[in-house]
Amino acid sequence: MSTLTDTLVPSYLSGAWVTPENPSRVTEVADASTGEIVATVSTEGLDLAGAIEYAREVGQRNLRELTIHERALKLKELALYLGEHKEELYELAYKTGATKRDNGIDIDGGIQTMFVYSSKGRRELPNGHIIIDGPTEILSRDNSFLGTHIYTTLPGVAVQINAFNFPVWGMLEKFAPSFIAGMPTLVKPATPSGYVTAAAVRLMLESGILPEGSLQLISGSARDLLDHLDHRDHVAFTGSAATAATLRSHDNVLKNGVRFTAEADSLNAAILGEDVTEDSPEFEAYIKALFIEMTAKAGQKCTAVRRAIVPTALVDTVAEALAARVNDKIVPGDPRSGEATMGPLVSVDQRADVAAAVDKLVAAGGKVVTGGSDQLEGAFFAPTILTFEDADTDAVHDVEAFGPVVSVIGYTDTNDALRLAARGKGSLVASVITHSPELAATYAHNIGAFHGRLHFLDRDDAKTSTGHGSPLPHLVHGGPGRAGGGEELGGIRGVKHYMQRTAIQGTPDHLTAITGEWVRGAKVNKVTRADVEAGTAEHPFRKDLATLQIGDQFASDLRHVSLEEIIEFAEKTGDTFYAHVDEEAAMANPFFPRRVAHGYLLVSWAAGLFVEPAPGPVLANYGLENLRFITPVTYDDSVRIELTAKRITPRVTDDYGEVCWDAQLFNQNDELVASYDVLTLVEKENTTYANWNK
């Protein structure tokens, strides 16, 4: 027989695994299928205040030693490590009632989220410690006073309070963006499945990949946790609206600046468009979507469909088709058995909550098509489909049965469907199944404000769609109103939630020093062609990343523009737009003085003016950004280029990095002709062609 010591789930605080000694208050956790006690939890006597300070001091210090790219690479290493050990997590998760399919959503989904954030962090963010937000704003006529915005890491701890339904994904989808932002995490999972989270945390720590202090775990109740937080800290909560309201009303949230976001209850809808008939491919896609959302995780998903909104004439048809699929494909049982296709709810208590919610719906007029609250024993709950004669029954739009339960209601026309969807008072996601682009636009314009995500489905994307209930790391997860008003994920948006946006003002040199990105007007190290030919200076293209500096600039001589060159370019490229070849038509245009050079001809000339042709550390040009043509160039004008190293981004996994060059093309009167960024790949050390000219 197991003892308390054997089953007590440890916490990881202040750099060590800890458990209470002889706790007087212990919560038991049972296997959802068998009822056997598999874990006990208690936080009695644990030093939560010390853990928070440890995160602020040790975690913050160690994470700040890493650049954004270095943190992102560690996420990839962690994802690979967890992937190698995920079977261990599967075995534990089966005890929560999760099937193999459910584990794919939770465990594999969490690992995949880390892969995505690792990739996006290295691809879309600078290899430094801050993020620049938006362009530089010119605040003075002489360009001596400028402004911009930057994101810097919040100096506290990212506290995540998670729900029971996703013990791994729920942690990793919050951990990944906060880790890239440089903020240490304190995880407080829900008790019924927290032992799975604890196992994932143990694997992450055993990997040796994480900096000390960057991840801590509270196993069990943490009722005084918010007492120890302040304006430096961020709390991300997932759970019931009632608990969210309690936490949001805490003095440290209301008065002391604790950042608090919530993802709460959500009566998500799936709407069948007016254009869909029983014979349409979209009808089958709709039934399949409802079935998946009812039965995945036994309906214990914050994104699951609770309200199926269909044309009134199709209410019974939809309910019967869905019931037939459920009865044909669902075998409730222990996930470890070979036959079960849907496991139990996470606990007997959760089953009681779902049964009570279903009873309320039935009492309000719901007709049970299949299932019901008294069908199965223990923590098992039968997939339940309800229909309502009155689509405006308040309970349909107010009561959430957090299990395999869906209510099918009818609408009279699209405007009625829009109204019913909005009665959810704010949801995480709504699906609209329609093959009509016009209907899709109508729904997006009218119910977008009520939902964090809209999922459109038809015959063309039915096979490729990731589904109604699958939050993706690329897109925001959250919703307004009763859904909590929070927002998570969303690609790099999710990283910025754990950072402070600050407006900065100052000289070009101030902004360059702060951001690590050269700003026009800041000091430059100017080199001319004459300097290079005289051997008194080195062309910036001859410098590798070890020697290239922000502000290194090459300034060319003037190049004369002839009419013959303009005509030749037009003839050879086929770009015979009248402004380049027809003098009279060009002069009639208010933008052109006479025939003018092609914009792309100017860019080509500019490259000829700044490129250093011999092989060297510059390996490739991989694009232009922000190209703008400002002043027309006509024949007998001249042009020159100033090319300045603007941003240097070494890659942590390669022998090269990216350099963004600020390019400004001027005419003989020093008027700006064109402005753009040149992107190149440059060696970290000039090894490939180091001896080319020797």
Question: CA-CA-CA-CA torsion for 406, 407, 413, 415, nearest 10 degrees?
Answer: -80
Catalytic residue among 173, 282, 293, 302: 302
Catalytic residue among 173, 263, 293, 400: 263
660 in catalytic set: no
- Rounded Cα distance between 532 and 553, Å, is 12
Using CA atoms, how far residue 65 sits from 341, 441, 594, in Å, is 47, 47, 58
φ and ψ of 321, to 5 deg: -65, -40
- Beta strands 16-18 and 11-13, pairing class: antiparallel
Burial label, 687 (beta-carbon count in 10 A; 0-12, 13-18, 19+): exposed
Tokens, residue 162 = 């998670």
Residues 6+ apart with CB under 8 A from 492: 120, 121, 124, 125, 131
The amino acid present at 351, given as its one-letter code, is R
497-518 residues labelled b (16+ CB within 10 A) or e (exposed): bbbeeeeeebbbeebbebbbbb
* β-bridge pairing 37-41 and 27-30: antiparallel
Token representation of residue 549: 């500096």
- 263 in active site: yes
With CA atoms as reference, report the closest residue to 410 among 427, 433, 393. 393
DSSP state, 558?
P
Which residue type is seen at 625? E
Q: Helices 68-84 and 194-206 meet at what angle, rounded to 10?
A: 110
Q: Are the CB atoms for 409 and 308 separated by under 8 Å? A: yes
Place of tokens 């008003």: 485
DSSP 59: I
Q: How many Cα atoms sit within 13 Å of 303 on the Cβ side?
A: 26
> What residues are annotated to the active site?
263, 302
